[in-house]
Amino acid sequence: MASRSLWLCSLAVAVGVGWFAATAFSPAATSKEPRFPLLTMDQLTDKQKPLGEQIMKVSSVGIGGPYNPMMRSPVLGQRLFDLYHYLRWETSVPTKLNEFAILIIGRQWRSQVEWYAHAPLAAKAGLSPQIIADLKANRRPANMSEEEAVVYDFVTDLSTKHAVSDELFAKARKHFNDQQLVDLTSVAGAYVSVAMLLAMAEETTPPDKEAPFKPGEP
């Protein structure tokens, strides 16, 4: 319980620098009706309210970003909320590499929200600005450390080739233990789910912020 309280307090000051900062996001102003109108607490059903109350402890502007579609399935939403608590705050993977894995998935999906939220957090965790810039430009980053290169190849091969070769797995074994390999795989897969939710719901960056990826870019 104490760790959860500390987590919630940390999230309250983390707006703009993490996945949960997406609670502050709302769809860009367009003439099109939002697929999932932003909910307020007084609109929530009895099944939604417990999750909504947890979300509101970390958000001063409502239930937005990936939380917005998650609220439509409150049992699943609660379990995802708890899953991402682990993957963000309790994972065995070092923060810099964990954020790198999230960015790799965000770039593959061209997920505006994931990139907007996690690029600053990755930089804060120590990931090189050049690596971030290369990845954003859809290039294999140069000058990666051995660990960073393993994370890039491991996540990329799993998500694009749907396999990890024996050679790559042996390289990964030199840098990561069993739990770390499972956690690394899981954070990548989980953020594919986040990217899917965001894309399906057409959630985007705050309307007063520039989207990371421009139309026509690779």
Q: Kindly list the averaged pLDDT for each block of 10 residues, start to end, along the chain of length 218.
A: 43 38 46 87 95 81 84 96 92 98 97 92 97 97 97 98 98 98 98 96 87 89
Q: Residue 162, exposed/middle/buried by CB under 10 A (0-12, 13-18, 19+)?
A: exposed
**What is the pLDDT at residue 94?**
98
Q: Residue 175, exposed/middle/buried by CB under 10 A (0-12, 13-18, 19+)?
A: middle
Query: In angstroms, rounded to a whole number, what is the distance separating the alpha carbons of residues 19 and 89?
Result: 11
**What is the pLDDT at residue 151?**
98
The 3-state DSSP class for residue 39 equals: strand
Q: Tell me where in the chain the CATH 1.20.1290.10 domain(s) lie.
A: 95-198
Q: What token pair was written down for 204?
A: 């985007």
**What is the pLDDT at residue 15?**
34
Helix axes 74-89, 178-201, angle to 10 degrees: 130
Class of domain 95-198: mainly alpha
